[in-house]
Amino acid sequence: MAYGGTDQLVRIWDLRQKEMLKTFKGHVAPITCITMSPDAKYVVTGSENGDIIIHNFDTNALAKKLQHSTQAVRSLQFSTKKKSLLATGTDDGSIIVWDVNTGRHFCAFIVHHSAPCVQVAFSTKREMLLVSAGADKRLLCFDIDTKK
């Protein structure tokens, strides 16, 4: 199990053994969301100041730091089909899809929600379909191939 919080640390626990396995550092603001890459090589965390940190699970090293804005990151989700794509949702209602290999935007949907984007998810049926849910009570669908 992985979790992070207001102390800006990520902790990885073995629940069967009831022991902490690893700790990752790097954030300067409280951690708001966490996910693991499909290949389990990376733990990715988002924070209240907009930082997204990619931690290498095996080496404990900070692999990359991404930042789109100073808005809190509320959701992180890797594509299960295109494993280098990471979708993020932020407090300003924006959705950014990153290519974690390059550290650059793959595409961006800026301020599509009128309230925080609280969840992003890739379709398991259509690899380039992304869905977001906002605190504005709207579900939005995006085709990241056409960027619409």
pLDDT in tens, 58-109: 998 889 999 878 899 999 999 988 989 999 999 999 999 999 999 999 999 9
Say how many CA atoms lie within 13 Å of 13 toward its Cβ.
10
Contacts of 21 (CB under 8 A, 6+ apart): 12, 13, 14
CA distances (Å), 42 to each of 35, 47, 52, 133, 136, in order? 9, 16, 12, 25, 31
| pLDDT confidence tier of residue 148, bands split at 50, 70 and 90 | confident
Contacts of 126 (CB under 8 A, 6+ apart): none
In this prediction, residue 145 carries a pLDDT of: 84
Residue 17 burial (CB count, 10 A)? 8
Residue 47 burial (CB count, 10 A)? 21
- What is the separation of C-alpha 35 from the centre of its chain, rounded to a whole number of angstroms? 6
In this prediction, residue 125 carries a pLDDT of: 86
For the chain, what is the mean pLDDT? 91
Cα–Cα dist 55/39, whole Å? 13
In this prediction, residue 142 carries a pLDDT of: 94
Residue 20 contacts residue 56 (beta carbons within 8 Å) = no
What does CATH list as the number for 2-143?
Answer: 2.130.10.10
Would you give the DSSP letter of residue 61? Answer: -
20-38 mean pLDDT? 92
